[in-house]
Amino acid sequence: MDFLQDGHNLSYLWIASGIILMVAELFVPGTFVFFLGLSATIVGSISYFYESGFWTQAIVWAALSGILIWIGGSFLRKFFPSSSEKVALNPEEGPGRIVLVSKDILVERKGGRVVFQGTEWDAISKSKRIPAGKRARILERENLTFVVEPIELPEI
């Protein structure tokens, strides 16, 4: 443990750990690992010039990591918006339209299919399973998946 008693060695350890974490970002999805590495590098740089204990540095690293993840994450979301979105459809694009279920629609699970405007689309139900051959009403669209509800049509 004499290695950690020397302030400069501990600084080098923080900086090396930070660089390793920032490089690991290339292999781990998400941006939080980069911010953990950046905060470790900053703590290592500060501790090189201002001597402090390990636990003080660890607390500063944890606080700085949280701040960088929060601020940096919201900043990056402005430039790289999520590919997942909920879209409210125009009336002519589906909500309220009755569609034929071509493959059983499951509750909160993908796999079901409906026929809309001559094309099969993925569909899910929020309330209950809808068997193939039945009719459903489109509520909304989430990306390329329709959210539908079962309807009971009178027999003719």
For residues 123 and 74, what is the distance between their CA atoms, to the nearest angstrom? 31
pLDDT category at 2 given cuts 50, 70, 90 is low
Indicate the residue among 23, 52, 79 that finishes a domain.
79
CB under 8 Å to 111, separation ≥6 — which residues?
103, 104, 105, 122
**How many domains in the chain?**
2
User: Residue 142's closest CA among 89, 87, 73, 96?
Assistant: 87
Rounded to whole angstroms, the Cα distance separating 21 from 80 reads 22
pLDDT in tens, 23-75: 998 888 777 899 999 999 999 999 999 888 889 999 999 999 999 989 888 88
- Say if 88 falls within a structural domain: no
Q: For residue 88, is pLDDT > 70?
A: no
Q: Are 127 and 149 in contact (CB under 8 A)?
A: yes
Does residue 1 lie in a domain region? Answer: no
* Same structural domain, 23 and 67: yes
Q: What is the CATH number of the domain that holds 115?
A: 2.40.50.140
Q: Is residue 156 part of a domain?
A: no
| Per-residue pLDDT tens digits for 103-152 | 888 887 888 889 888 888 889 988 888 888 888 888 888 878 888 888 87
Which residues form the domain of 59?
7-79
Q: Are residues 112 and 70 in the same domain?
A: no
Same-domain check for residues 102 and 135: yes
Note whether 106 and 60 are same-domain residues: no
